[in-house]
Amino acid sequence: MWRIIYLLPFISGWLLLLISEQFFVLSLVNGITQLILFTFIVCLPTWYTGRMSFVDIGWPWGLTLIGVLTWIYGEGDSLRVAIISIAYIFAGSRMGIGAIKLLISGHLDKELPRYEFQKKRWLKVGKTNIALTMQVEVILQGLANASFLAFPAFIISTNPSEEISIFEMIGIAVWIISFIMESVADVQKLTYLRAMKKSGARNMVCNIGLWKYSRHPNYFAEWMVWNALVIASIPSWLKLYPSMSETMFALVGMGLFLISRIMYVTLVTYTGAIPSEYYSLQKRPAYKDYQQTTNMFFPGPTKEN
């Protein structure tokens, strides 16, 4: 029963989109295609191999799918629809291509550490049916793509106005800055790891560039990418008010703003910072000092040890 309870908020989010006249077609097609994608790319491989890492393939390509469907079915201003569609397609494909590279290189032949950490959590609280629990977890990821993570794209795609709002300009600017920040952080860490490998140094702590100000600047930037989409969605959400009941309008708004909380929890406690640091502390002796001098998530000045 507890497993179903975990899924209920995301099922409710999808149903909210389905019963909204403005989002019915998009949410129906998206829900069905996300189901097909996750069944064959995530659920079946997870069941067969006992590894959840296939989520890293299905989830980003699911975002790309949201972008494609929004471009096809979006009925709002064509420029606005194109911009939000490209944002999803670009971000999803970037992560999706990276996941495929991991698959081809053999890195997904064993479970990724963040998913191993999840299994440790389950065993600690007495969840012994790991195979079933994994299925619930990966289905939850698919439902997130079918519900809350699609809200910005679907809401923006309904806006027929040709006038660009200040909120949309701010959202686009924050999205671009955050996307660049995430990419720079990834490149800096990869460059550092290659340099350490070339020098023969092992298990060193990356504390250069953006990593001097946050232990997880890539996760922070990813969170800000989603906050940017929420900001950019505000004018389009407000334009829905005349065509919706007050209750429906409020629920859609709650779903939109809930994205920030969902992504924060995911990137900090669920599959992000905390699982990553659990293994970093075991592998890297200097990581404890790094924790004491550098903020975990929000960038800030280095602290004295």
Mind listing the pLDDT tens digit for each residue in 60-104?
999 999 999 999 999 999 999 999 999 999 999 999 999 999 999
Percent above pLDDT 70 for the chain: 99
Buried b (16+ CB within 10 A) or exposed e, 200-226: eeeebbbbeebbbbbbbbbbbbbbbbb
Cα–Cα distance measured from residue 124 to residue 107, given in angstroms and rounded to the nearest whole number: 26
State the pTM of this model.
Answer: 0.95
The model's confidence at residue 202, banded by pLDDT at 50, 70 and 90, is confident
Percent helix, strand, coil in the chain, to 5, is 80, 0, 20
CB atoms < 10 A from the CB of 181, how many?
20
The pLDDT score that the predictor gives to residue 303 is: 84
125-159: pLDDT as tens digits: 888 889 999 999 999 999 999 999 999 999 999 99
Burial of 146 (0-12, 13-18, 19+ CB in 10 A): buried
